[in-house]
Amino acid sequence: MSLPRQGALGSLSGEARREESFRIRNRCAEYYKRHEIPAHLNNGDEERYSNDNFYASYSKGLPHNERGEVVSDAYLQYLNILNSGAPHAFEQLPTGTPPANFVRFTDPQSGLAYDLEGIDSHQLAMPPCYEFRSAGEMAEIAENYWLAVCRDIPFNDYDSDSTTAAAAADLNQFAAFDGPRDANGQVTTKTLFRGLTPGDLAGPWLSQFLVWDIPYGAQKVPAAIAYGLPANTNYMTDEASYIAVQNGVKPSIVPQPMTPVHIHRGRDLANYVHIDELFQAYLNACLLLITPKNRGGFAAPLSDGNPYKTSKTQAGFGTLGEPNFKTLVAEVATRALKAVWFEKWFVHRRLRPEAFGARLHWNLVGGIPYEFDDAGLTAMRNGVLNRPEIQQAGYFLPMAFPEGCPTHPSYGAGHATVAGACVTVLKAIFAENTTFGQFGIKPLQPKRDGSGTEEYQGGDAESLNVGGELNKLAANVALARNFAGVHWRSDYTESIKLGEMVATYFLHDTVQTYNEDVYFSFTRFDGKKVKISKGHIGV
């Protein structure tokens, strides 16, 4: 065997390597150039109520009147600035509070950013969200109120608690409610506040990836949360605090150190998603899946498309190995945020649930006419609005955060879009059908008081699998924002699909860059199988 010629740098070198690099980049660009540009349609509320102070559109941070309705001239100025796209113009956004005490608008220009990996954010689209006046919107706000009422009930008590039973029974009164139902088409305590994807209704309410301590190299990160807001306290339940928040006043109460507690109820989940890094839960899941059992992980097998799963001489590292996988999970998050920020700021501008709750307050207490769905409003008045805690709040939606929602529109949801993207990447990396029975690991659930964990004893314990628990993780994190009062259910259901598409195209571009013979495959949220290889996405 002869020595390779001096200066040989693999199969290609010099000019040939540079040209092939250019061809790879160009092929991806041409691939996306051939994609149709979708229609970006909204629900029409902005135009429909343009003569009524835009009461069905997002306006937080702008100046508002005494009912929390936006000042029309300020809203029109805000629209003109968004439509201009000029970076300097955003500094002229009108504000409802002086700068020293103002919560600034959250990155509207992210929706105008480009990317050099994956599809352009403007080539994806979400369907219009529910109209303010629709039965679907009223069904969703009814669930939001029940989420607030049930915020402090342990997940382990859902099947025995009278309040969660009342919530499930009441949601059955809304034909338009599109949350999960059982085989008989009923909302029950076993489906209550859960997600809609494969695995969401299996096992305990909380995903395994939020229960286990996280192996982090030579360190271990406890699953218990150690920072949060004052216990069992709700906010924005009077006119003065509501209007101050709508005008963008900074909160005086912020998360503080607390006695560590395992996530065991909705308020804990709300505390978790209040100050998390958006890819945090999925990086933690990756660490659990990839770490050996003797260091606290699951040692999950890799997906069959990874050639290093069966290689006798090589292990992945910078490509198709641990550093690559962990980076991919975090990297896709920014692409997801750009996609959903375009939808939020430049297409839908959906109002937040807290604003809908304020419209209910001023309608029921002040007689202000808003165009509600009549049947839905009657059902709410006979149901959740009759609860003493809601009446004590003046029919405002009780919020888990003193500042209410963040300073960006509701639809889609940032957490949910990132969840959809990151979970899709994880399902592509690992063998998603692997069960906990195959791991030889007993699933856990939080104790009723959150003081620790215990074995889950359900009959489906051994059949819980990686893909299902990842889907459940996406639902837990996305719907945690609903527990806080800051998002609608459809913000979750449509945003995880958007994130899934972002991740699909992101993986398409990623696979083109590998020297290895590799493909990615995963099960979509709708149950369909996807395979991504060099130059092809197959469903």
Distance CA 234, CA 237 (A): 8
The two three-digit tokens of residue 399, written as one number: 């919020």
The answer, yes or no, to whether residue 195 has pLDDT greater than 80, is yes
The answer, yes or no, to whether residue 64 has pLDDT greater than 90, is yes
Amino acid at position 463, single letter: S
At residue 523, the pLDDT reads 98
CB atoms within 10 A of CB 249: 18
Among 126, 101, 61, CA closest to 405: 61
The two three-digit tokens of residue 477, written as one number: 């994190």
At residue 12, the pLDDT reads 78
When mean pLDDT is compared across 4-13, 41-50, 124-133, 401-410, the lowest value belongs to 4-13
Q: What is the pLDDT of residues 299-322, one digit of tens each?
A: 999 999 999 999 999 999 999 999
The residues, any chain, with a CB within 8 Å of residue 109's CB and separated by 6 or more, are 87, 90
At residue 535, the pLDDT reads 74
pLDDT averaged over the chain?
Answer: 97
Under DSSP, is residue 204 helix (H, G, I), strand (E, B) or coil? coil
What percent of the chain lies above the pLDDT cut of 90? Answer: 96
CB atoms within 10 A of CB 296: 15
Inter-residue contact 279 to 415 (CB < 8 Å): no
Q: Which residue has the tokens 């009461």?
A: 55
The two three-digit tokens of residue 362, written as one number: 């001023």
Q: Name which CATH class applies to 45-538.
A: mainly alpha
Domains of the chain: which residue ranges?
45-538
At residue 155, the pLDDT reads 99
Distances (CA, A) of 316 to 24, 282, 296, 313, 321: 22, 20, 21, 10, 4
Residue 102 β-bridge partners:
249
Among 303, 311, 312, CA closest to 507: 303
Q: What is the pLDDT of residues 501-523, one digit of tens each?
A: 999 999 999 999 999 999 999 99
At residue 13, the pLDDT reads 79
DSSP 8-state code for residue 320? B
DSSP 8-state code for residue 521? E
Query: Across residues 346-356, what is the average pLDDT?
Result: 99
The answer, yes or no, to whether residue 6 has pLDDT greater than 60, is no
Q: What is the pLDDT of residues 199-218, one digit of tens each?
A: 999 999 999 999 999 999 99
At residue 181, the pLDDT reads 98
At residue 14, the pLDDT reads 87
Considering the entire predicted model, what is its pTM? 0.97
At residue 539, the pLDDT reads 63
CB atoms within 10 A of CB 146: 23
Question: What confidence category does residue 3 fall into, taking pLDDT thresholds of 50, 70 and 90?
Answer: low
Question: What confidence category does residue 11 fall into, taking pLDDT thresholds of 50, 70 and 90?
Answer: confident
Query: Across residues 402-425, what is the average pLDDT?
Result: 99
The answer, yes or no, to whether residue 8 has pLDDT greater than 80, is no
Query: Across residues 1-9, what is the average pLDDT?
Result: 63
Q: What is the pLDDT of residues 142-165, one digit of tens each?
A: 999 999 999 999 999 999 999 999
Angle at 82 between CA 62 and CA 101, to 5 degrees: 30
- Three-state SS string over 210-270 comes to HCCCEEECCEEECCCEEEECCCCCCECCCHHHHHHHHCCECCCCCCEEEEEECCCEHHHHH
Q: What is the pLDDT of residues 240-295, one digit of tens each?
A: 999 999 999 999 999 999 999 999 999 999 999 999 999 999 999 999 999 999 99
At residue 4, the pLDDT reads 64
DSSP 8-state code for residue 128? P
Q: What is the pLDDT of residues 45-55, one digit of tens each?
A: 999 999 999 99
At residue 5, the pLDDT reads 64
At residue 236, the pLDDT reads 99
Distance CA 45, CA 350 (A): 8
At residue 217, the pLDDT reads 96
At residue 132, the pLDDT reads 99
